[in-house]
Amino acid sequence: MQELFRRLDIAASGLTAHRQWMDLIAGNIANAQTTRTPEGGPFRRQLAVFMEMQDEHGAGLGVKVANVIPDDSELKRVYQPEHPDADAQGYVSYPNVDVVMEMVDLIAASRAYEANATVIEAAKNIAQRTIGILQA
């Protein structure tokens, strides 16, 4: 039973982590043109850092998003002197978000999410069969 619940917790952590990643991707796509943020400056692409979780004996406990870091790659500079956020030279810095890349990540995230959902289904199946031994 212990093993079963651990398995379900692991798969649930996978669902949570990949949903968080999908949230970040949604935020990236939504802010692909955002030139102004509360921290100042244009929006920067947000990256999820996945980390394996273990107990004190090294047994696996799933996965988590350990950190969300901004992508430090160069911002896109576009000459738009009429834009309110244009600098002195007339250039506007746009977020370093490539929508195509985000879509690729989104597919990877949703596939991983599905895989974890399948694990939960399989674990439930096995648990049911094990309980079925009692009815023999």
Partner 1 sequence: MDVLAQDVTFAALAKSMEAQSLRQTLIAQNIANVNTPNYKRRDISDFSSELLDALSEAGSRTERVGQVQDLVAREVVAEELFYRADQGGVDVDREMAELAKTSLLSATYSQLLQKRIGQYRMVIREGR
Task: Write the interaction track for partner 1 spanning residues 49-88; mark x where CB under 8 A is met and - where it is not.
Answer: -xxx------xxxxx-------------------------
Torsion sign over Cα 26, 32, 38, 40: positive
Q: Which of residues 7-26 bind partner 1 (CB under 8 A)?
A: 7, 10-11, 13-14, 17-18, 21
Bridge partners (DSSP) listed for residue 79: 91
- R_g (Cα) of the chain, nearest Å: 22
Whether the Cβ atoms of residue 31 and residue 24 lie closer than 8 Å to each other = no
Size of the site for partner 1 (CB under 8 A): 37
CB neighbour class for 64 (10 Å; exposed up to 12, middle 13-18, buried from 19):
middle
Residue 44 beta carbon to partner 1: minimum distance, rounded to whole angstroms: 20
Binding status of residue 35 toward partner 1 by CB under 8 A = no
Residue 13 beta carbon to partner 1: minimum distance, rounded to whole angstroms: 6
* Number of C-beta neighbours around residue 113 at 10 A: 18
Interface residues with partner 1 (CB under 8 A)? 3-4, 6-7, 10-11, 13-14, 17-18, 21, 50-52, 59-63, 108-109, 111-112, 115-116, 118-119, 122-123, 125-126, 129-130, 132-133, 135-136
